Amino acid sequence: MTAFSDYGLAEPILRAVSEMGYREPTPIQAEAIPVVMQGRDVMGAAQTGTGKTAGFALPILQRLMPMANTSASPARHPVRALVLAPTRELADQIYVNFREYAKHTGLRAAVVYGGVDIAPQYLALRKGCEVLIATPGRLLDHLGQKTVNLSQAEILVLDEADRMLDMGFLPDIQRILSVLPVKRQNLMFSATFANEIRKLAGTFLNDPVTIEVAARNATADNVEQSVYKVASVEAKRAAVAQLIRDRDLAQVLVFSNTKIGAGRLARQLELDGLNAAAIHGDKSQQERLATLEAFKKGETRVLVATDVAARGLDIVELPAVINYDLPYAAEDYIHRIGRTGRAGASGVALSVMSPVDERLLVEIEKLLRRKLPVESLDVVLPARREPPGRVDRPPRVARERHAPRRVASVLPTGAGQSSDPFFSRPYEPAGAAPAQGEDAQSDAKTTGALESRTVPPRQPKRQLAALLGGKKF
């Protein structure tokens, strides 16, 4: 059995690895570390959760060790390795790992990504860093403002390359490649190797060593996969709640194909008594990080995410993933279920499917080259209760034009909460108009407290009082 000490990694790196609790290299690390240390280009096919970050980070730090110094001068800390990642979460995750692995070396890491104030990034870049982790768009902003200099970058890593292409980053990547020194080491990692990825590899990798630790386009063996067929689209939300309860899932990451769907599902699960939150691209970076943190700490049981937001989420020992929607792109199925069963742990990947989604399953099975077990799931749909007849909902157009008013200042917390049919709304059919006052912007986690509820705009006070059981105010 190989040990980290067999690779000739410097003592400060080995010390950090041991402090991380890593006892032996994972298969991708065993293959990648020696090859990257030799300075070879690499095309790595590795699923998430295989330890690929350390697979490239440790040998990169080793190669940079001769340049490590404790000087305070930024000129002594030029960018020597650039890591490009498709999403902020993944960039942040890689940065956190690099910082840990480098903490005894004197080498510095920094991260830049969009969606947050750029000013603190100027400061970090001005101080100097040997390893820079970046999302392509924000890096181009810095290059445009000349706040970063890549003229001494001798190593480039393209992580989650397939996702970069999916997200349309190819032109940005090409622009970044054009400002890097021609002579450099290139590493490209991708969970899947579609033809476009091979084409991209052909354009910038130089005689690469191919490292493939899992069979191409195969899903982790240690993940139990099941598909549950429900009678209608409307039944899917109830099915998710039922599966979480029936299987007693301690924590679960649920995938939705749309941001609005993610927000709505999280709210609905909350109403159903499950502690849930949503994470997607319409949320601010701060909100996303806080939501992720709460989930990692176990404070949130269900995290509903879109594919983009879920990239780079490294949640150790996530027991289960549920596809509320089957993904439109079959390859996303592999990315999604790679979130569970990480680093050798076993996991559960469940999918709910309505009749209209069956063609998506066909695509997934084609990609996996095998059938997935499908069983029917009877869900109990709570009867849809309408608001009292006297309350006419304003027409949809009116709701869109007027921002919903919050009632926080006039309602005592808890008043009318449980008995009020308007506030304790049952499952909304998917595709129906959003519940009153809910829209893509108000995806913030529903707290369950009355303060967070909204009422339709221009609700006459009398009607509102009726809703609250005759309470006058």
| Shortest Å distance, C-beta 32 to ligand AMP | 11
The minimum distance between CB 225 and ligand AMP, in angstroms, equals 20
**Least distance between ligand AMP and beta carbon 218 (Å):** 16
- Can you tell me which of 88, 184, 339, 342 binds ligand AMP, judged by CB under 6 A? 342
- Of the pair 54, 107, the CB lying nearest ligand AMP is at 54
Smallest separation, CB 336 to ligand AMP (Å): 15
* Whole-number Å distance between alpha carbons of 32 and 57: 10
Name which position in 54, 188, 201, 450 contacts ligand AMP (CB under 6 A).
Answer: 54
| Binds ligand AMP (CB under 6 A): choice among 52, 280, 336, 399 | 52
Beta bridge partners, 210, equal 43
Q: Which two tokens stand for residue 439?
A: 């829209």
Q: Which of 32, 33, 43, 48 binds ligand AMP (CB under 6 A)?
A: 48
Q: Pick from 12, 13, 14, 26: which binds ligand AMP (CB under 6 A)?
A: 26
Asked whether position 314 contacts ligand AMP by CB under 6 A, the answer is yes
Residues 371-400 that bind ligand AMP (CB under 6 A): none
User: Is residue 144 within a helix (H) or strand (E), and if so which, with residue range?
Assistant: helix 136-144
CA-to-CA distance for 203 and 208, rounded, in angstroms? Answer: 11
Inter-CA distances, 346 with 222, 299, 359, Å: 5, 22, 28
What is the distance between the alpha carbons of residues 281 and 279, in angstroms, rounded to a whole number?
7
Q: How far is the CB of 250 from ligand AMP (least distance, A)?
A: 18
Based on DSSP, count helices (H) and strands (E) in the chain, helices before strands.
Answer: 17, 16
If binding means CB under 6 A, how many residues of this protein chain bind ligand AMP? 15
If the CB atoms of residues 51 and 456 are measured against ligand AMP, the closer one turns out to be: 51
With tokens 């990825």, the residue in question is: 197
Strands 81-84 and 155-158 turn out to be parallel
Binder among 13, 35, 43, 50 for ligand AMP (CB under 6 A): 50
Annotate 187-210 with three-state secondary structure: EEEECCCCHHHHHHHHHHCCCCEE
- DSSP bridge pairs for 416: none
49 torsion bin: left (phi>0), alpha (psi -120 to 50), beta (else):
left
Could you tell me which stretch among 22-30, 188-196, 220-228, 293-301 binds ligand AMP (CB under 6 A)? 22-30
With contact defined as beta carbons under 8 Å apart, do 195 and 159 qualify? no
Q: Does 343 bind ligand AMP (CB under 6 A)?
A: yes
Interface with ligand AMP by CB under 6 A: which residues?
22, 25-26, 29, 48-54, 314, 316, 342-343
